Amino acid sequence: MQKNHLNIFTEFKGKSKKDTGPSDLLIPTYLDAFIQKQIKKHKNLKNYFHYLILKFQKRNPFSKFPDTAFRKTLYQPKCLRLIRYSFRPDYQDWYEAKFAGFYFGISVCRLFSRLADLDREEDSQSKNLEDELIKLRKQEVPLHFYFTIFSNQKLILKKILYEKNFELNSA
């Protein structure tokens, strides 16, 4: 009887409660501009919070957060000049964030800040890759490269159709 009552209490069955109160996230000032950009991209903070939870849930988050041997909750340092964001998160997302925060021994605000920081790092890495691709495209291609492609057009089409691996000779 008690086990059944506990399951009903802890399971959300994929539904969120609409009457949940607002929650506050304290974000460091260095993340403020990035968070504002992501809020515009995802329409609101609730959607971005959900996106971060799902994005890092699919990966192995254990490599990004060291497991704490003690179960004392670590909060963000006050010297970061934190900015308060109020929003109404999906209840299940908030529960998962609290659970993950408890596991790693950090507050939900610190967890969110770290996830947003990781998202920002990945975003900057993808921008760097895009910049490198643009630089490669802008490089001049030798004229003889085009002559080689156009002169062997039938051969290239045959190899593409038969899905054979081939390399273009530029000489």
pLDDT in tens, 36-45: 999 999 999 9
Query: Taking the domains of the chain in order of start, what are their residue ranges?
Result: 18-134, 143-171
Residue 62 CA: distances (Å) to CA of 33, 67, 108, 142:
27, 7, 16, 48
The answer to whether 96 and 115 have CB atoms below 8 angstroms apart is no
3-state class of 15 per DSSP? coil
Torsional sign, CA 154, 160, 164, 166: positive
What percent of the chain is predicted at pLDDT more than 90?
A: 27
81-98: per-residue pLDDT in tens?
Answer: 899 999 999 888 998 888
- Is residue 29 very low, low, confident or very high in pLDDT (cuts 50, 70, 90)? very high
pTM: 0.62
State the pLDDT at residue 165: 55
